Amino acid sequence: MQENTNKAIFLNSIILYAKLIITAIAGLLTTRFALQALGVDDFGLFSVVGGVISFIAIVNTIMISTSNRFIATAIGKGDMKLINNTFSVNVVIHVLIAVITLAVAYPLGDWYILNFINYGGDIQTVMTVFHITIIGSVISFIGVPFNGLLIAKERFLVFSTAEIIASITKVIVSYSLIYFFVNKLLVYSLTICLTTAFPTFVFIVYCRKLFPQIVAFHFVKEWTPYREVLAFSVWVGYGAIATVSKNQGAALIVNRFFNTTMNTALGLANSVNSIILTFANSISKSISPQIVKSYAAGDKERSETLVVMASKYSFLILLLVASPFLVAPEWIFSLWLGAVPANLIIFSNLIIVDALIGVFNAGIPDLIFASGKIKWYQIIVNTMFLLSVVAAYFVLQAGAPAYYLQVTYIIFSLIILVLRQIALNRIVKFNNWNLIRKSYIPCIYVAILFTLVFTIKGIVVPFMLMIISIVYLLILYFTIALTKEERLFVINRIKGLIKK
């Protein structure tokens, strides 16, 4: 059984990484073309107003975990009626969330734009862009239960294909903006809206054809399942608000004390981080269903092993993908953007450091969510996220440089890392030392040794420095980070590929 689940994780990871290579390249090209077509001011504006898409993407990711948790648990019990009821309950709840979002976001967003957005152009255009992004986000909310079902069923190929199509579409449209269209900002925002909503339609059609018994909607009259999901969703929703506040709050705070040019630098840095972080998150996404199912089946040892795997592999993959941006950022950004905006490199470096600290927590939320005991975990951890935004606001208000915002976030991320460990032990009686010994210590050791690469910066050309850093990291991974069993697994896989 364990061998089969490991193979499933390996296969799902391959699918996700194939998708990520394509979407990462597409994302970089989209940003390059969009910046060229829109200009610094409009691109910076979109990173603030159009950032609602990023808001909802984060909220969706977290809310999907709610649907996944309940659906995966029902699937583990093998009761089709329970699975169908669980799915129908999630549909009702997410439709209500979509309606509430629409009702609240429109007036609140208009008020904020009219009173606080720092923009020299037509403010009506800004409001239209905001309205378009809200519509796309609301559509994506409705698709959350279908996405949760696909994850619970581990059908990663489906949404990988949908996201690849959406990414390629964004590249084509953003490139055409350079040569065509008058109101480029509106066309770009409409494209982002449609490509955000497109996967939802794919998920709905696929699930209706492949899982008709599960998605056959009916209104569940009993209040108990709604109460259970809503109680869970309230605390997950609080986490979503906190996560969104940290990410989009940075853009709003920078816009408050600086200008859209500074927002452009922050937006570009976040674009890079979003792409490389997706690589790291993919491994935890492929492991997540197994954590939930193992815990639901009472296999505590297996679920703890999977958490260690998610934490370690997420960190190692993120560091590997981020290494070129750490050792040769000037060369990469010049090649990518032409002219490198001021503060982009320092924003990028600090955001990557913050992300590296954050991915240490991979797998932990999945295990705690699987237990269902999330109230105090969500309150403590996510209140710290909100406090980091408040602290960053006062730091910049005191006259600190813009990048101090990310320094503040890093300090709070370290505090949150410790708090998660305490919560993990209290809630599910997790063996924290096992996680520290098998994940944190080898990863930190690798990260420290990796800094030796910076001693040859300026001696070799940037491209060679990137190659050296990647090869050096792979050697460190094989000799330090991986266990004996993991090294044998890698060797056998390589031998298998050579024989083919």
Reply yes or no on whether the pLDDT at 476 is more than 90.
Answer: yes
Phi-psi region at 465: left, alpha or beta (left = phi > 0; alpha = psi -120 to 50): alpha
- Cβ atoms within 10 Å, residue 221: 6
For residue range 423-434, list pLDDT tens digits in order: 888 888 888 888
- β-bridge partners, 460: 457
Within a 13 Å sphere around the CA of 217, how many CA atoms are in the beta-carbon half? 12
* Residues above pLDDT 70, as percent of the chain: 91
DSSP category for residue 338: S
Sign for the pseudo-dihedral over CA of 106, 107, 108, 114: positive
Reply yes or no on whether the pLDDT at 472 is more than 50.
Answer: yes
Nearest-angstrom CA–CA distance, 91 and 88? 5
- β-bridge partners, 457: 460
Phi-psi region at 460: left, alpha or beta (left = phi > 0; alpha = psi -120 to 50): beta
Q: What is the CA radius of gyration of the chain?
A: 22
For residue range 240-262, list pLDDT tens digits in order: 778 777 877 777 788 778 776 77
**Per the structure block, which two tokens stand in for 427?**
């809630």
pLDDT band at 26 (very low <50, low <70, confident <90, very high): confident
For the segment 25-42, the average pLDDT, to the nearest whole number, is: 81
Nearest-angstrom CA–CA distance, 420 and 380? 9
Q: Note the helical H segments in 429-461.
A: 432-435, 441-450
Nearest-angstrom CA–CA distance, 16 and 303? 21
Q: Note the helical H segments in 117-183.
A: 123-142, 144-152, 156-177
For the segment 113-118, the average pLDDT, to the nearest whole number, is: 73
What residue spans define the domains of the chain? 10-221, 258-500
Nearest-angstrom CA–CA distance, 106 and 130? 8
For the segment 6-25, the average pLDDT, to the nearest whole number, is: 72
For the segment 82-89, the average pLDDT, to the nearest whole number, is: 82
For residue range 353-411, list pLDDT tens digits in order: 999 998 888 888 888 888 878 888 889 888 998 999 899 899 988 888 888 888 999 99
For the segment 111-115, the average pLDDT, to the nearest whole number, is: 78
pLDDT band at 1 (very low <50, low <70, confident <90, very high): very low
Closest CA to 363 of 452, 424, 443: 424
